[in-house]
Amino acid sequence: MSDAFVFAPPAPPSVAVAGSSARFPVRRIFCVGRNYAEHAREMGNDPDREPPFFFTKPADSLVEDGAELPFPVATEDLHHEAELVVAIGRGGQDITREDALSHVWGYAPGNDLTRRDLQAEAKAARRPWDMAKGFDASALCGALRPVAEVGHPAAGRITAHVGGELRQSGDLAEQIWPVADVIAHLSRLVALAPGDLIFTGTPAGVGPIKPGQSCRVEIEGLGAAEVRYQGG
């Protein structure tokens, strides 16, 4: 019995590590919805009523800092969502809040790019968000910085600039569910594994990116991640 593949498998998705030639292999991408109160309100929801909920993006939807991309297909309303990205280095299930941060390998700035018009249509039809959130090149992630270098940032400014204009400005301390809580909640639903990334939600101020524009997300102490779209 042959173990050969019918075609050569693609290289595993990975993310750069700041200051190193080594790369962080990526297994899965989880995203937290409505984790900042003001963003929950701007999307028409009550932030005080629900525990965190999660959706996913394909691992190969990753985009790295400095990418120049064609504008996404099937949308006229592409939105930026500046986020803290958590990289899991040690797996586990039913992780306690007290132990959660010991499972983190590092952190990076990220952007949960969203086809907002498709998301609105899906919500109205009570259908899944997959094509609004998990499209090609929808998960921008900057270079990871290991915990040994940056610790566990519980506070710090997070911003998004589009074409040089400040669109989002918040603080990690404003998260409804801090990183330890997010990991604990998620690990009750799935067994986390090394290589998982968690996008931890976005502050208020999400809005459109147009063809020809760039979007830069920056988090205090963690650097920046920027993407530019062709056209315009």
User: Does residue 185 carry a pLDDT above 90?
Assistant: yes
Distance CA 142, CA 67 (A): 10
pLDDT at 231: 94
- The tokens for 175 are 């998260």
- In a domain, residue 179? The reply is yes
Please give the residue range of the domain that contains residue 195.
14-229
| Cβ atoms of 201 and 168 closer than 8 Å | no
- In a domain, residue 149? The reply is yes
Residue 78 amino acid letter = L
H helix or E strand, kind and range, residue 182: helix 179-186
Q: What is the pLDDT of residues 127-160, one digit of tens each?
A: 999 999 999 999 999 999 999 999 999 999 999 9
What are the phi and psi torsion angles at 44 (to 5°)?
85, 25
pLDDT at 2: 63
pLDDT at 102: 98
141, with CB counted inside 10 A (0-12, 13-18, 19+), is: buried
**The whole model's pTM is what?**
0.95
pLDDT bin (cut points 50, 70, 90) of residue 203 is: very high
| Cβ atoms of 63 and 227 closer than 8 Å | yes
- In a domain, residue 74? The reply is yes
- In a domain, residue 212? The reply is yes
- In a domain, residue 5? The reply is no
- In a domain, residue 77? The reply is yes
pLDDT at 49: 57
User: Does residue 46 carry a pLDDT above 70?
Assistant: no
Residue whose entry in the numeric block shows the structure tokens 């030639």 = 21
Distance CA 141, CA 3 (A): 34
The domain tally of the chain equals 1
- In a domain, residue 7? The reply is no
pLDDT at 41: 59
pLDDT bin (cut points 50, 70, 90) of residue 59 is: very high
Mean pLDDT of all residues belonging to the chain: 94
- In a domain, residue 3? The reply is no
Q: What is the CATH number of the domain that holds 76?
A: 3.90.850.10
Q: What is the pLDDT of residues 65-76, one digit of tens each?
A: 999 999 999 999
